[in-house]
Amino acid sequence: MILGNVHSLETMGMVDGPGIRVVVFLQGCRLRCLFCHNPDTWQEQGGTQMTPEEVTRKVLRCRPYFSRGGGVTFSGGEPLLQPEFLLETLQLCKKAGIHTCLDTAGYGCGSYDEILQYTDLVLYDVKQITEESYHCMTGQSLTETTHFLAAVKKAGTPVWVRHVVVPGLTDGEAHMQALRTFIDKKVPNVQKVELLPYHLLGVHKYKVLGIPYRLAGTPAMDPSLTEQWQRCYFPVNKGERNPTPEQTGGTVK
């Protein structure tokens, strides 16, 4: 019997893919991003152990909310670190006609092809854009996430890029231009790019867990400035709605 370590489930997610979604947060992450607001998901051995069938039943309870293009999003932590559990749960959700989304930094265990067969949409987190800056931001190399992007390209899975804008680290005109170039050259199948302003909502978790917060003193990012860069470098037409599951290769039931 396959068991997964589930941190939590959010049943009315509005920002993790198209429509209203169930968001399944899985335990475990190899990255230690400076801006991480979920340090409580770093350790894989934690949360609640659940079977793929148990998770799928909870997702199906919310099916009435999916009529306008919702579904399930697997997040974390890094969901790819529990590949067997993730794959079986994705298969069950797809069999039930549920649109599936993966919120990931692309930093799992190196085997992604089968998982992507059952993934309708990837929310891909661009942490940084050079080997040096990526290592400084996450403590890891770009190698594994580059491997993941190659698998996404092969699978043809649609991608929404997300990038956290941190004052002094991932902000400014020069960075936005370099980010635009990186995405154009390195990230396949991109449908949209979302800039997310850095916030301080998760700082209290570090105190509770006794973990030093390495961005102490860094202010929250100005949302209006982030929005200006969004309009300039990654414009979205006014009034544009998120793509439906049909547009992202999924199924509405």
The 8 Å CB, 24+ separation contacts for 117-120 are: 117/155, 118/87, 118/90, 118/91, 118/93, 118/94, 119/90, 119/155, 119/157, 120/71, 120/157, 120/158, 120/245, 120/248, 120/249, 120/250, 120/251
Whether the pLDDT of residue 240 is over 50: the answer is no
pTM: 0.90
Q: Which residue has the higher pLDDT, 196 or 12?
A: 196
Whether the pLDDT of residue 238 is over 70: the answer is no
Q: Which residue has the higher pLDDT, 109 or 200?
A: 200
Confidence of residue 109 (pLDDT cuts 50, 70, 90): confident
> What gap in Å lies between CA 228 and CA 213, rounded to an integer?
28
Confidence of residue 237 (pLDDT cuts 50, 70, 90): very low
Bridge partners of residue 161, in order along the sequence: 124, 193
Confidence of residue 249 (pLDDT cuts 50, 70, 90): very low
Whether the pLDDT of residue 246 is over 70: the answer is no
Tokens 């154009």 correspond to what residue?
184
Domains parsed from the chain with CATH numbers? 4-233 (3.20.20.70)
Q: What is the pLDDT of residues 50-76, one digit of tens each?
A: 999 999 999 999 998 887 789 999 999
Across the range 197-217, mean pLDDT stands at 94
> What gap in Å lies between CA 59 and CA 182, rounded to an integer?
35
Q: Is 112 exposed, middle or buried (0-12, 13-18, 19+ CB in 10 A)?
A: buried
Q: Cis omega (within 30 of 0) on the bond before 77?
A: yes
**How many percent of the chain have pLDDT more than 90?**
85
Across the range 124-139, mean pLDDT stands at 97
Instruction: Give the pLDDT of residue 236.
Output: 73
What are the φ and ψ backbone dihedral angles of 188, each rounded to 5 degrees? -85, 160
The pairing of strands 159-165 and 190-197 is parallel
Instruction: Give the pLDDT of residue 1.
Output: 87
Mean of the per-residue pLDDT values of the chain: 92
Whether the pLDDT of residue 173 is over 90: the answer is yes
**How many percent of the chain have pLDDT more than 70?**
93
Confidence of residue 46 (pLDDT cuts 50, 70, 90): confident
- In a 3-state reduction of DSSP, which class is residue 190? strand
122's tokens: 């990837």
Instruction: Give the pLDDT of residue 40.
Output: 94
Confidence of residue 211 (pLDDT cuts 50, 70, 90): very high
Q: Which residue has the higher pLDDT, 32 or 65?
A: 32
226 torsion bin: left (phi>0), alpha (psi -120 to 50), beta (else): alpha
